[in-house]
Structure 1
């Protein structure tokens, strides 16, 4: 089963390529650094108590892992 956060993020993946994001419910927040991540997590925890955020990096389209 795919989480609501993952499904929402994948429907908008092109918009977030090359960025770190935090997703909860239908909300997606782009974070640039550790402070931004902490701030986003705090705000989203207050807004969506009990929900576990999806934190990920969306790679560029042509990423090769060796």
Structure 2
């Protein structure tokens, strides 16, 4: 059964796409510092409520 993603799911998706997928980190501390920096920058510039527009109706293939 499909469920609607919540804001936490969407934030972690953004974090993965923008930082983690291509990131190379030499240590756990470096990874933690990169995540902290990302979160602070995201909160400052990009954070806004997600507007969910999908109503749950079946999607049609083009």
Q: TM-score range by the shorter chain?
A: 0.3 to 0.5
Identify, as 1 or 2, the structure richer in helix.
2
TM-score when scaled to structure 2?
0.36
